[in-house]
Amino acid sequence: MIKPNNCIEGLIPYVPGKPVEELERELGVKGAVKIASNENPLGPSPLAMKAVERELAGLNRYPEGDSFYLKRALAEALGVKPENLIFGNGSNEVLELVARTFLTEGDEAIMGEYAFIVFPIVTQAVGARRVTSPMPGLTHDLQDMYSRITPRTRVIFIANPNNPTATMVGREELEWFLEKVCDDIMIVVDEAYFEYVDDPDYLDTTSQLDRRRSLITTRTFSKIHGLAGLRVGYGIGDAEVISYMNRVREPFNINSLAQAGALAALEDTEHMEKSRRVNALGLEYLTAELQSLTLNVTDSRTNFVLVEFGRDPMPIYDALLREGVIVRPVGEYGLKTHLRVTVGTQAENERFVAALRNVMGK
């Protein structure tokens, strides 16, 4: 029987959660609340929905191959040139393009032990070696990551803020790291949650593009814009770096509905501001309620919280399912005593807290 190459055979695939409807059928519950995937509880931008509807009549045509209009609008919004941008089927594809462009068999990529799970997947898929840096306090330790650089190091992945820990690396430490690491190593900073950050100590790494050519910032329309179902992510980097990535990018990788929706969502500042307000209030509520249950919660800079139970959380997870509340286990990240909980609407947040109190006998 034919076998895949060695790096693929040993790869552990990402395991998504079941559809809400399937869980309701299996468990006999109705009206389940899904707060597991860091989605925007307000839904997509109303402007995006109208734009997608208008685009339906043109589905017999291939999409614009280079996201022409979206690229120009986003470049203007970010203050960069169109040639500094590349789009992917979600930011996951942009991360895959980084790996396919800059890593090969025998190379090394450094990442945190609790970093975004796509980092090790795309690294191993091209035959490169994952080098793991401990994350004390569940936060990237950039000094430790720097100490692990070898002549084989080609890429360093950092998620800021990080999923699933919700933690952030500060401005001074990240600026030091970007300055210290030599230019023949590509630094990838995944900023999928940057729109939710309200902290003057946060460094928007697009501000560093003029200082470092070997830097790629990845972002997404899946989170605050509420377009996770359309899959639109993007990378920002040096024009020559982006041109290399475009050589391995598949044509027509962003469908026409996604392009139209993202372009409209970019203009919907009202939806973005409302999403930020709802998230900030939800974070405050969930953190206070969880701490009242004597549970440890990371200081979140995202739209989710990471909750530490001090024991195997799977019985709690299973009991919450039977209460009609879906959260996310994170054992595959190595976090064996934690659950990740997305900030929902206030009604969803209250339902989760009530269900958790019931499950824990409190």
**Cα of 298 vs its chain's centroid, Å:** 17
Rounded Cα–Cα distance for residues 12 and 2 (Å): 19
Return the exposure string of 82-110: e unless at least 16 CB atoms fall within 10 Å of the residue's CB, then b: bebbbbbbbbbbbbbbbbbbbbeeebbbb
Residue type for position 249: R
Q: Is 28 left (phi over 0), alpha (psi -120 to 50) or beta?
A: left
CA 335 to CA 312: how far, in whole Å? Answer: 10
Report how far residue 168's alpha carbon sits from residue 204's, in angstroms, rounded to the nearest whole number.
12
- Can you tell me the distance from the alpha carbon of 99 to that of 96, in angstroms, rounded to the nearest whole number? 5
Residue 2 has pLDDT above 80, yes or no: no
Mean pLDDT, the chain, integer: 94
Which of 2.40.170.20, 3.40.640.10, 3.30.70.20, 1.20.1560.10 would CATH assign to domain 46-268? 3.40.640.10
Domain spans, the chain: 6-44+270-359, 46-268
CB 74 within 8 A of CB 234: yes
Say if residues 120 and 140 touch (Cβ distance below 8 Å).
no
28-66, pLDDT tens digit by residue? Answer: 777 889 999 999 999 999 999 999 999 999 999 999 999
Cα four-point dihedral sign 44, 78, 115, 238: positive
| CA 218 to each of CA 85, 146, 189, 233: distance values in angstroms, whole numbers, following the listed order | 10, 21, 6, 7
Q: What is the pLDDT of residues 142-151, one digit of tens each?
A: 999 999 999 9
Please, are residues 42 and 273 in contact by the beta-carbon 8 Å criterion? no
The predicted-structure confidence for 58-94, as pLDDT tens digits, reads as follows 999 999 999 999 999 999 999 999 999 999 999 999 9
User: Phi and psi for 127 in degrees, rounded to 5?
Assistant: 85, 10
Assess contact for 355 and 326: CB atoms under 8 A: no
Tell me the mean pLDDT in the region 221-239.
Answer: 97
Given a cut of 80, whether residue 104 has pLDDT beyond it is: yes
Q: Which two tokens stand for residue 228?
A: 């996770």
207 has pLDDT over 90: yes
Round to whole Å and give the CA distance between 131 and 109: 6
pLDDT tens digits along 335-348: 999 999 999 999 99
Q: Per-residue pLDDT averaged across 194-200, rounded?
A: 95
For 79, 162, 303, 358, the CA distances from 229, given in Å and listed in that order, are 27, 21, 17, 33
Same topology, domains 6-44+270-359 and 46-268? Answer is no
CB neighbours (10 Å) of residue 50? 13
Residue range 6-44+270-359, CATH number: 3.90.1150.10
Rounded to an integer, what distance in angstroms lies between the CA atom of residue 89 and that of residue 233?
6
CA 295 to chain CA centroid, Å, is 25
* In the predicted structure, residue 16 carries a pLDDT above the cut 70: no
Distance CA 141, CA 177 (A): 10
Q: Please report which confidence band the pLDDT of residue 4 belongs to, taking 50, 70 and 90 as the band edges.
A: confident
Residue pLDDT, tens place only, 238-293: 999 999 999 999 999 999 999 999 999 999 999 999 999 999 999 999 999 999 99
